Amino acid sequence: MPDISEAPYAPETKLIHHWPMSSGQQSLWFEQLAHPLSNAYNLGACLHFPKSLDQAALNHAIAALTPRHPVLRARFSSDQPFWRISDTPLVYMSLSPSPVTKSTGRELVAKMVRRPYVLAQEHPFRFALVALEDGGCLLGIACHHIVADLHSLAVLVRDMDQAFLREEDHTPVDGDALSMTANYADFCEWQTHMLRSNSAEKSAVYWRERLAEVRYDALAMQSQSHSALPTKNQAPPRINFSIPHELSCALTTIATQQSTTPFCFFLTTFQAFLAHRFRRNSVVVGTPVSGRNKKQFRNTIGYFVNLLPMSFTFNPDESFDAALTRNSAMTRSGLRHGQYPLAAIVDKLSCPAMPGTRPLIQATMTFQTTTFDLEDKLTRLALGLPGGALALAGQSGKRWVFRF
C-alpha cells in the first residue's frame, strides 16, 4: 500500500485575485494556524463506480468546475485573513499504481482524507482515483471545512456529474451558465459590506440586548470546574438519535397546535432541560443555520454555516406551553438576524477570552430535516452516522453513491 502521507503539494505558481475571508472562515483559519497538524476540519467522501472512468474526461470535468467554483483552487495566507485563487491546475491523484480490493481502496481514500492541510501551500480540495480489482473504481474527494459545508459537497457531486456527462458526450461547457450563479468570493465581498451596513448595526443591537443578561451567567457556568458541560479542550459528549415517523408526526401536530415548529419544540425542551439540570436561570444553546438565505448562493460551494446563540431564561413557575410560546417568538426573531456572524456578536459583547471555552455557547443542538426521497440515508450522512449516502443519477442512468 503506497504511503501518501507525504505526498508532494502542487508546485506554487502565480496567484491571481484575493478576497477577505468570511467570518466563519476566519475562525477555522485561526484554529488551523494554532493546530497545523490537526485534521479535525477535514471532510471526505467516496464515490463508487461499477466501471472504470475515463481519466482524461475526469480531469477535464474537474477543470470545468473551477470557473464556477474558484474556491476549489484557493490558497490561504499564513499571516493575513485573505484567500487567493491559484492558477495551478486542480487534478486528481492516483493512490495506487495497480488495482486493489474495495476495502484497501477505502483505506487509501481514508488516509488521503485524514492528511492535514497546509492551506497556504495546497488546494483545499483533493481528488483521488483508485482502480479496483473488479473493474470498478473509487473516486475519493477531500476538502477542508474552511471552503465547504455539507450542502457544498452535494453541489460538488451534482456539478461534477453534469460536467463528466458533458465530457462523455463531448458537449461544450456553457461559460455563460457557469457565471450565472454567484460564487464564494461574491459571498465574502457581500458579507464584508453587510457588516458595515445599517442592517448589521440593527442585528448587533438585537444580539446585544438579547444576550446582555445571560452572557456573564453563561461564562460563569463554563468556568466552574464541577460543571458537567464540556469545554472545547475536552472531548464533548455527542448524542445522535432519530425520531420514528409516528412520533415525529405527533410532535409536529403538538407544535402546530402551539403555532410553532418541531425545531422550536425541541430547542425549548433542550434548553429547559439544561436550565433545570444545571440549576441555571439562563442558558445559551448554539444552533447552526445554513447561512444561504440569499438565492444566488444556494448552489455555491463554500463555508456558509453560522452558529446562532439562542438564549433561554428559565422560570420554574411557568408552564411548558407558555415557555414554548415565548421561546418560539424569540427563536423566530433570532433567525431573522441569522446572517450576523457569531464572531461579530462575541466582538460586540466584548466577551473576555477564556482558554478552553467557547464564547457564549454552553451546548449545541443540530436539528436535521430533509425533504428528499433518500430521507433516512441523507439524514445519516448529514449527521455523520454510518450508512449515510446520497445517490445521484446522471443522464446516462449510472448511479454515483456518495458516502462518508
Task: With a cut of 70, say whether residue 231 has pLDDT above it.
Answer: no
Give the whole-number percent of the chain exceeding pLDDT 70.
74
How much is the average pLDDT of 303-313? 92
- What pLDDT shows up at residue 298? 86
pLDDT in tens, 105-122: 999 999 999 999 999 999
The more confident residue out of 99 and 177 is 99
Lowest mean pLDDT among 56-60, 123-127, 370-374: 370-374
Say if residue 129 is exposed, middle or buried (CB neighbours under 10 Å; 0-12, 13-18, 19+).
buried
Task: With a cut of 90, say whether residue 191 has pLDDT above it.
Answer: yes
What is the Cα–Cα distance from 286 to 142, expressed in whole angstroms? 27
pLDDT in tens, 158-190: 788 778 777 666 665 554 444 456 899 999 999
pLDDT in tens, 318-370: 998 999 999 999 999 999 999 999 999 988 887 766 555 667 888 888 876 54
Mean pLDDT of the chain: 78
pTM of the model: 0.79
pLDDT-derived band at 199 (thresholds 50, 70, 90) equals: very high
CATH numbers and ranges of domains, the chain: 15-189+372-403 (3.30.559.10), 213-364 (3.30.559.30)
- What pLDDT shows up at residue 300? 92
- What pLDDT shows up at residue 281? 82
Sheet of 15-20, strand order: 15-20, 82-86, 74-76
How much is the average pLDDT of 70-90? 89
Closest CA to 87 of 11, 26, 27, 22: 11
**How many helices and strands (H and E) does the chain possess?**
13, 12
Spatial contact of 21 and 33, defined as CB atoms under 8 Å apart: no
Which positions ≥6 away from 82 have C-beta within 8 Å? 18, 19, 20, 21, 76
Sheet of 306-313, strand order: 306-313, 282-289, 363-364
- What pLDDT shows up at residue 360? 81
The more confident residue out of 335 and 53 is 335
Grid cell in block for residue 138 = 473509487
- What pLDDT shows up at residue 219? 42
What is the Cα–Cα distance from 243 to 246, expressed in whole angstroms? 8
Give the whole-number percent of the chain exceeding pLDDT 90.
34
- What pLDDT shows up at residue 59? 85
- What pLDDT shows up at residue 369? 58
> Position 247: which residue type?
L
> Position 116: which residue type?
P
How much is the average pLDDT of 12-17? 46
Spatial contact of 63 and 89, defined as CB atoms under 8 Å apart: yes
Closest CA to 124 of 73, 49, 90: 73
- What pLDDT shows up at residue 83? 93
How much is the average pLDDT of 148-154? 85
Grid cell in block for residue 268 = 425549548
What is the Cα–Cα distance from 20 to 83, expressed in whole angstroms? 6
Task: With a cut of 50, say whether residue 389 has pLDDT above it.
Answer: yes
DSSP state of 180: S
Grid cell in block for residue 338 = 441569522
> Position 154: which residue type?
A
pLDDT-derived band at 399 (thresholds 50, 70, 90) equals: very low
- What pLDDT shows up at residue 222? 46
pLDDT-derived band at 226 (thresholds 50, 70, 90) equals: very low
Q: ∠ at Cα 83 (82, 84), nearest 5°?
A: 130
